[in-house]
Structure 1
Amino acid sequence: MKSINSRITLFFTFVFFAAGTAAAQEIIKETKQDTVKPVSAKGRVKVDGVVAVVGDYVVLDSDIDLMYKELQAQNIPTKDVTRCDLLGKLMEDKLYAHQAIQDSIVVTDADVNETMNRQIDYFVENLGSVDKVVKYFKKKSLEAFRAELFEMIKNQKLTEQMQKKIIDDVQITPEEVRQFYAQFKKDELPVFGAEMEVAQIVIKPEVSQAEKQAVIDRLREIKREVQEGASFYSKAVLYSEDPGSRSSGGYIKMNRKAPLVKEFKDVAFSTEEGQISEPFETEYGYHIIYVEKVRGQELDVRHILMTPKVSNEALKKAKEKIEKIRSRIAAGEITFADAARSESDEKETKNSGGLLINPRTFGTRFELTKMDPSLYNDISDLKDNEVSRPILVDESRTGKHYKIMMVTNRYDEHVADYAKDYLKIKELALKEKQKKTLSKWNEEKIKDTYIKVNGDYRACTFANHWVK
């Protein structure tokens, strides 16, 4: 059950909360046969029905069918996946969601709608049209699909919030890390894959003052139109250049700890409810913010982002500059790290000599098998001490710029070493402790929650004691 849980959890995280990542090139692959669908002795298949109840939630036979179909669509191996496995995972999620409601954990409709709109945009991008999305998921209409997706996302968010609450206070001591490592026999120690450290230097083209002023004037014009009765939501959908919030009318739910740039938070918290800010600049371009609702230290805001356009002449000068930097590094006049500190326009990596931070681990090492495909493509052919040719980057949030890259260190695949890999071993030990905490919580809540498993599914061998 552990293996299927991990595969299914990975699947749902991928489908509903990682839309747009480079790893998701193909999401659709129609399947012709459901190899785990049970058939009665007379060859008839049960159409649908309640197969389990967990607290206030029910699990339908069709929920299991849908889950299996989605696993196949994502090319996740299903050879050893049984309907009992899928039902167990669904019931576990329902238990978390049920308890989240009991503990007054709130997931707002606005938060769910934002994720749902982003997800539907992702499906449309991959399938080609809204009609094709509806057809693939075998729904009667877009409204029916949205209704089902809304409930699925809401339950998933409740589950995530409940799990987070359970393990938030779980910590690991150095002695526990030592004991975790000591439990492995020599031939059973974890193996860590090949890794590398990567650095980059970014040169951004200069934007003319005239282009900046044109964007500021346009944002002021939009602000005036909204004050005269136009819809901020509609203006954001039509004109904002922020792909993450555009489809939801620029909506962002935020607080002081939100992972937003300082300038954005400063303006948002200094603008009164119902008011629209003046245009202001961040590293992404120019914004205006409409503060829709203030709830203590939480804000519901909408924003419009517009980026000044870069001229071909400015882009040409940026390329010439980065080529000169590359030549100086190749000639040994300056190290890559010193060049990054003195010349790079990327403030996140500038002070560290251009070293990239792995968003998964927050360290500087990238495991090759888990590296973002776009990053891997940029550095895969680089030899030791080789600097890449200038790479033109065109990102929706940061615009066009050039970068050069270098692999600064390589680490071969190796068996875990307590001294060299302490942080990785600590991470594994913490995850193991969190799993045990969740497992213990499950055991306790199953005893206190109304649970019923119907029909043939009562004969399933579950990891949890669902059948009382």
Structure 2
Amino acid sequence: MQLKMMTLKFIRPINLLVVMLLFVQTISFGQEVIVVDSTGVVKNSTSEISELKKDTVLPFKRFKAEGVSAVIGEYVILDSDIDKSYVELQSTGVSIEDITRCQLMGKLMEDKLYLHQAKIDSILIADAEINPQVDQLIQYMVSEIGSEDKVVQYYRKETMAELRKDLFDAKKDMELANRMQSKVVANVEITPEEVRSFFFAIPEDERPIFSAEVEVAQIVIEPEITVQARQGVIDKLNQMREDVIESGSSFATKAVLYSKDPGSASRGGLYEGVRRNGPMAKEFKDNAFSLLEGEVSEPFETDFGFHILTVDKIRGQEVDVRHVLLFPEVSQTVIDGAKSKIDSLRDKIIAGDISFAEAAMRYSDDKETRNNGGQSVNPTTFDTKFDLTKMDPTLSAQVYNLKEGEVSKVFTDRDRTGRSKFKILTITNRLEEHPADYVKDYEKIKELALKEKQIRAIEKWQEEKINETYVNVNEDYRDCEYASNWVKK
């Protein structure tokens, strides 16, 4: 049996940024790509899209009514949607040379089937879950292009509100489709015997090759925030609070001018739809739900820094708030002291005066790793192994050439507040690239076996739902070879 390294969807971006860029590209073409009259008939399309059609599809008969390529339940797929998919892939650096229109059509129909069934199953997503992701994307676009006005112009929208709505709708559709897919495979489990059968059914010369992996420990020394620095930032926030309460100054203006939160500063510190069970810091939520509309909190601290907060509107179980975030200033003298401390620690470890693990437990400022001797946990897999080909580039550069037990040079990192901190790393275990081994790589093999079983479950689900759902595929695409029975032959 040949191992097929399949994913649960035809194209799945590898990280949040790529996913969000796909949304942007879809929106950027929006209504500019295709103009439809009141009957739904396509009136014109851009020359760029026309060029993409060339050499990417076998000759088709071109007498499609109203530009509709398929209908899945109440969702319509236009021929231009396939063109836009090519542009989306190109925008993320994916080669489209071997991707056919039939393949993209099959992917689009899968997505619409998930959306259709999610609506039937009453799968709901709160706006408050989507808004922070949209905020993050807009902030990224502004940082790349220069200003909100330039972003709006670049993506051919009239206002930022229009762009935000399109981003919101696109992201919500994708989340609904993902949740529907997750629901389909939620109860799929794999037994040890199924894992064993999966692995030994693969011929030895076709077994997957696993990349080199390392286990990494770290020691982190952060420049100490002095009492004076803490009090200084609290005093600044108290002055802002007094200006708002006593002098009638605009809280939103204070946020725009002074807040260090890149996700909200440009919008006057606004976060909409904050919920008690949402992802915000506990201290942030405690203050948000303890105030009346218009009240301004006392300064308070979270892991992100120091805040003041006001409530704009209370809407049942949700509140709209504005906040100002500031960080204490750290003097160069304190920074130099932290650097000297970690240099001294490194010298002692190399000299054998103290082990790396003991030094981490006694001196490291990283709460998540110090109790484990500095051992880092992979945030993707939640184990201690890091694939060298998938590591964060900054981390990979520091450990790539390290031998097991060797200590890295001191390097400077920055936390989420932008504050500098110093690190040293060591490799506690290194596993070179190798063919899959049933004992050593059991967890990875189990993951592959489970994924194959999930794929079969999805195929079965799709077959059932396609039979239950209204599906109409235009004759241009009826001769395609789909994995599922979309044309109901």
Amino acid of the structure 2 residue aligned with 1:328: K
**Equivalent runs, 1:372-383 vs 2, <5 Å:** 372-383=392-403
| Of 105, 114, 121, the match for 1:103 | 121
Q: 1:332 aligns with which of 338, 352, 357?
A: 352
CA deviation after TM superposition for structure 1 residue 7, in Å: 5.5
CA 1:42–1:441 in 2, change beyond 3 Å: closer, same or farther? closer
Q: Secondary structure at the match of 2:472?
A: strand
Give unmatched runs, 5+ long, in structure 1.
20-30
Q: Residues 81 and 371 (structure 1 numbering): CA distance in 2 closer, same or farther, change over 3 Å?
A: same
Counterpart pick for 1:68 among 77, 81, 86: 86
C-alpha displacement of 1:54? 1.3
Secondary structure at 2:108's aligned position in 1?
helix
Give the direction of change, closer, same or farther, for the CA distance of 1:343–1:426 in structure 2 (3 Å limit). Answer: same
Give the match for residue 11 of structure 2. Answer: 8
- Distance across 1 between alignment mates of 2:372 and 2:365: 13
* 8 A Cα contact 1:245 1:252, kept in partner: no
Alignment of 1:263-282 (within 5 A): 263-264=283-284, 267=286, 271=290, 274=293, 277-282=297-302
**Unmatched 5+ stretches in structure 2:** 23-47
- Can you list the C-alpha shifts for 1:88-138, whole angstroms capped at 9, x where unaligned? 111111111122122222233443343223223323433445566566656
Letter in 1 for 2:388: L
1:243-295 deviations in Å (ceiling 9; x for gaps): 45555645276667656655556x35873564654333233322345565576
Helix, strand or coil: the match of 2:369? helix
Aligned with residue 81 of structure 1, among 99, 118, 122: 99
* Residues 306, 168 of structure 1: alpha-carbon distance in 2 compared, 3 angstrom cutoff: farther
| SS at structure 2 position matched to 1:170 | coil
Q: 2:359 is matched by which residue type in structure 1?
A: A
Q: Is the 8 A contact 1:7 1:76 kept in 2?
A: no
Deviates more, 1:57-66 or 1:101-110: 101-110
Rate the CA distance shift 1:213–1:37 in 2: closer, same or farther, 3 A: farther
Contact 1:241 1:307 in 2 (8 A): yes
Q: Give distance in 2, aligned partners of 1:57 and 1:354.
A: 51
Match of 1:173 in 2: 191
Cα-to-partner distance string for 1:210-247 (whole Å, 9 max, x where unaligned): 22112223334444556676665665454433345555
CA deviations 1:176-221 (Å, max 9, x no partner) are 3223223222222222110011111111111121221122233344
- What code does the residue aligned with 1:209 have? V
More moved, 250-259 vs 307-316: 250-259
CA deviation vs aligned residue, 1:411-432 (integer Å, no higher than 9, x gap): 0111222222222222222222
Question: What residue is the counterpart of 2:31 in the other structure?
Answer: none
Which residue is equivalent to 1:392?
412
1:340, 1:176 → 2: CA distance?
Answer: 41
Aligned ranges for residues 12-411 of structure 1 at < 5 Å?
14-17=17-20, 33-34=51-52, 36=54, 49-128=67-146, 133=151, 145-224=163-242, 235-244=254-263, 246=265, 249-251=269-271, 263-264=283-284, 267=286, 271=290, 274=293, 277-290=297-310, 293=314, 303-397=323-417, 399-411=419-431
- Structure 2 CA distance for aligned equivalents of residues 221 and 453 of structure 1: 64
Residues 387 and 406 of structure 1 are in contact (CA less than 8 Å); yes or no, is this contact kept in structure 2?
Answer: yes
Corresponding residue number in structure 2 for 1:458: 478
Counterpart Cα distance in 2 of 1:233 and 1:161: 36
Partner of 1:424: 444
Aligned residues: 455
Rounded to whole Å, the distance in 1 between the matches of 2:408 and 2:76 is 55
Question: 1 CA distance for matches of 2:65 and 2:241?
Answer: 54
For 1:37-72, what per-residue CA distance to the aligned partner results, in whole angstroms no more than 9, with x for missing partners? 769989999998221111221111221111101111
Query: One-letter code of the match for 1:278?
Result: E
1:404–1:38: structure 2 CA closer, same or farther, 3 Å change rule? Answer: closer
Q: What TM-score does the superposition give when structure 2 sets the normalisation length?
A: 0.81
Cα distance in structure 1, aligned partners of 2:253 and 2:189: 46
Q: 1:429 to 1:36 in 2, by over 3 A?
A: farther
Q: TM-score, normalised by structure 1?
A: 0.84
Q: Which amino acid aligns with 2:455?
A: K
> 1:83 Cα shift?
1.0
Residue type of the alignment partner of 1:199: A
Cα 1:156–1:113 change in 2 (3 A) is same
* Contact 1:192/1:413 (<8 A) preserved: yes
Aligned CA distance change for structure 1 residues 344 and 460 (closer, same or farther; 3 Å)? same
Letter in 2 for 1:176: E
Instruction: Name the SS of the counterpart of 2:122 in structure 1.
Output: coil
Q: 1:175 to 1:302 in 2, by over 3 A?
A: farther
CA RMSD of aligned residues (A): 3.6
Measure, in 2, the Cα distance between the counterparts of 1:17 and 1:238: 28
Task: Indicate the structure (1 or 2) with the bigger Cα radius of gyration.
Answer: 2
Do the aligned residues in 2 keep the contact of 1:199 with 1:356 (CA within 8 Å)?
yes
- Assess if the C-alpha contact under 8 Å between 1:290 and 1:303 holds in 2: yes
Mark the CA change 1:295 to 1:445 in structure 2 (over 3 Å): closer, same or farther.
Answer: farther
**From 456, 464, 468, the counterpart of 1:436:** 456
Alpha-carbon distance in structure 2 between the residues aligned to 1:105 and 1:231:
40
Moved more, 371-380 or 337-346: 371-380
Q: Which amino acid aligns with 1:119?
A: L
Counterpart-to-counterpart distance in 2, 1:260 and 1:141: 28
Could you tell me the percent identity over the aligned residues? 48
- In structure 2, do the counterparts of structure 1 residues 288 and 134 end up closer, same or farther at CA, with 3 Å as the change threshold? closer
